[in-house]
Amino acid sequence: MRDRDDSDASRRNFLKTVGLGSAALASAGAGQGRAELAAVEPEKLQKILLSINGRQLSVLVEARWTLLFVLREQLGLTGTKVGCERGECGACTVLLDGVPRYACLTLAVEAVGHEVTTLEGLLDGEDLGPVQRAFVENDAYQCGYCTPGQVMAAEGLLRENPAPDLEQIRVGVSGNLCRCGAYANIFRAVADAAKLRRGGGA
């Protein structure tokens, strides 16, 4: 909802430029009522090629759509969760070329040319990957909603640093909130996952 005057037209233009805003409302002269605003065409769909979990996918997207929205609502990859849509909680963490990234702050068009890995991409067929197994074994979750993001943050950390110490683990998952408070077990799970990934037992 906005105030009656339309002095934020420049903000809207800025948002449109970066792809977050909308083009559904034409700008109107100051003092005009909202009812007189003319509707215009919604943002055009454009075809992009995304590489997700090792597969090439051709998708129609609006420029303003986030990677999070496209993964969940267009591709049905709902392992990636929505928590805040403003880069605060990390529930939507995916890997972009192996590096953890908030999918809510990444536009789908920005992901073109990069390898996207989601929670589903850590599975080997029906089997859980090492980080996922370590989370189950260490009960590193309660409601499980932040868990995909925690797992992806841990996966990214371990790809960069295969043998992190406790402090490095804490920093590695510090961008991921867990309201259930499973942190201590998450630390243990990540340490165990590091061993699993190095082949130190199952």
Partner 1 sequence: MSARDDERLYHEQGVTLPETPPPSTDPPPWRETLTVGKRRSRVDGYERLSGAAIYPSDMQLPGMLHAAFLRCPHPHAKLTSLDTRAARALPGVHAVIDDTTPEAAIDWNYQGGEGGRLFAGHCRFEGAPVAAVAAETPHIAREAVEAIVAEWEVLPHVSDARDADAEDAPRIRDGGNRIGEPSIYTRGDVAQGFAEADAVVERDFHTACELHTPLELHGCVAAWDGLDLTIWESTQGCFRVQEQVAGYLDLPLSRVRVVGHYMGGGFGSKLETGKYAVVAALLARRTGRPVKLVLTREETMLVCGNRPANSMHMKVGVRKDGTLTAIELTGRGSGGFWRGGTGLVDWLAKDLYACPNVRTELTSWATNAGNQRPFRAPGHPQGSWALEQVLDELAGTIGIDPVELRLRNVPGESQARGGVPYSSTGLAECLRDGAREFGWEEARRRTRESREAWLARGGNGGAPHRLRGVGVGGCVWVAGGGGPPATVLVRMYADGSVTLNMGAADIGTGTRTVMASIVAEELGVRLETIQVENADTGTTAFSGPSGGSKTVPTDGPATRDATVALKQQLLAWASEQLDTPRENLRYAGEFIEVRGRDQRLKVTDVERLQRRRSVVGVGHRGPNQEGLAICPFAAHFCEVEVDTLTGEVRVLRFLGAQDSGRVMSRKTFDSQVYGGIAMGIGFGLTEERVLDRGQTGKLCNKSWHDYKLPTAMDVPADLVSLPIELQDDRCNNIGAKGLGEPVTIPTASAIANAIHDACGVWIDDTPASPPRVLAALRRQRDRKEARR
Residues 86-115 that bind partner 1 (CB under 8 A): 86, 88-89, 91
Among 29, 76, 199, 201, binds partner 1 (CB under 8 A): 76
Q: What's the distance, CA 186 to chain centroid? A: 19
- Distance separating alpha carbons of residues 151 and 138, to the nearest angstrom: 13
* SS3 state of residue 52: strand
Smallest gap from residue 30 Cβ to partner 1 (A)? 15
Cα–Cα distance measured from residue 65 to residue 104, given in angstroms and rounded to the nearest whole number = 9
Which of residues 146, 157, 158, 194 is near partner 1 by CB under 8 A? 146
Give residues 30-59 in contact with partner 1 (rule: CB under 8 A): 33-37, 39, 41-42
Contacts of 23 (CB under 8 A, 6+ apart): 16, 40, 41, 42, 43
Nearer to partner 1, 101 or 141 (CB): 141
Q: Which is nearer to partner 1, 56 or 125 (CB)?
A: 125
Nearer to partner 1, 48 or 77 (CB): 77
Q: Residue 54 region, left (φ>0) first, then alpha (ψ -120 to 50), else beta?
A: left
First to last CA, the chain: 54
Q: Which is nearer to partner 1, 27 or 113 (CB)?
A: 27
Q: Which of 107, 178, 193, 196 binds partner 1 (CB under 8 A)?
A: 178
* 6, 105, 137, 197: which one binds partner 1 (CB under 8 A): 137
The CA-based angle 117-118-123, given to 5 degrees, is 95
139 is an interface residue for partner 1 by CB under 8 A: yes
Nearer to partner 1, 183 or 197 (CB): 183
